[in-house]
Amino acid sequence: MTDKNIVILGGGQAAANAIKAIRSLDQSCRVTLVSEESSLPYERPPLSKKCIRGEKTLGSCVFFDQDFYKEHKIELQLGRKVESVDFHNRKLLLDQHSSVAFDRLLITTGSKNRVLAVDGLAPEQIHYLRTMAESQAIVDQLQTRNRVLVIGGGFIGLELAASLRTLGKWVTVIEAGSQLMGRAIPPEIAGIVQERHEQAGVAIQLNTTVSRVTTNGATYDVEMSGGHSITCDLIIAGIGIEPNLDAFEEGPIRIDNGIVTDECGRTSIDGVYAAGDVASFYHPLYDTHMRLESWKHAQNHGINAGKNLTGESAAYNEVPWMWSDQYDYVLQLSGLARGYESCVKRGDSPEEGILYFYLSSDRIIGACGVSIGPKIGRDIRIAGMLARAGQEVDPDVLADTNQKLQPLLPQ
């Protein structure tokens, strides 16, 4: 490649996998990682599950150890905040009046928590969960706190609720919407997951918000929008995330629900790429721009962008896939569960697996299901392959658990 100085801004999953992809193709170019967090890049899914339950240490969440970066000659600038990006002069402007020059730049700044303002609470009285530090802060609080209010019924809130109940904590989840996980998961599956939480002892209140909180020593009296109230001693908010665009909002780079890229990860500025949660990328399979927030997407998008930074022009056309572990349930989503014409159900219980296929013109565009353990994993993968192939399918075969789906794949 002509440009020899690659800088990766942001230290998450997309960044780590981009670095690995770059070094698999180019061992000589200069690569610098700039991250606001002081830790090496790490995976986030355990932060709301195994780390909360004490089954995994925070240090074990890193993708690669220090030796990996040393052996691959990656310059690390950790704990450094980027104030802005000077795209014209090709450099990052950092705190402490320093800068980092680049020939090519990959933006992987990920997402940040949406912040909740509650009448009667100071900002520091509300906990969030996105980083190692936030996970550790919750673990520390749980040493003495037993009655937890989780505000937000999305993936993070529900994974936390499941972990907290496993630890024997009293948990209430309130959600402003009419169903849990409403931004991504269809109501058929959301209802099954809600039943599992309620069986475990979680109190769930939908169509509910916090009106006011009164602090009484170490406890909080929380008034709800419906007029009822609860008492708790720890409040955690998980009301969604948004792309982390703090360093770019005043600059020339095109932004629309994230940094806009083409199918190769290229932004509106030559030599500048974006990947992971922060990118609103063009997906050729669905012929639209989308922004995804999942472990698998951050990994694969980072790999694709890393290859393209070395000179390739590979289009990213992976079918979206995500999962969530809650108690013994494994929830999986492949493709898109929206914009469909018909829906086909396969299976009748979480024990055998319940899977819904979402069709348009007899072609699968998405599938979502839940099972005890990963039982539906094979069918979810086949659904993704069928969606990618644009293969017409027989709805009766999809619904019949006595028929395997493998023969539906194009030969």
**Domains of the chain and CATH, by start:** 5-112+248-309 (3.50.50.60), 114-239 (3.50.50.60), 328-408 (3.30.390.30)
Question: Can you give the pTM of this predicted structure?
Answer: 0.96
How far is 255 from 258, CA to CA, in rounded Å? Answer: 5
How far is 166 from 197, CA to CA, in rounded Å? Answer: 11
What pLDDT is attached to residue 411? 80
Strand partners of residue 56: none
How far is 397 from 328, CA to CA, in rounded Å? Answer: 28
How far is 195 from 326, CA to CA, in rounded Å? Answer: 12
What pLDDT is attached to residue 150? 98
Pick out the chain residues at pLDDT < 50.
1-2
Strand partners of residue 9: 34, 107
Which residue is associated with the tokens 């006595």?
Answer: 402
What pLDDT is attached to residue 343? 96
How far is 371 from 349, CA to CA, in rounded Å? Answer: 8
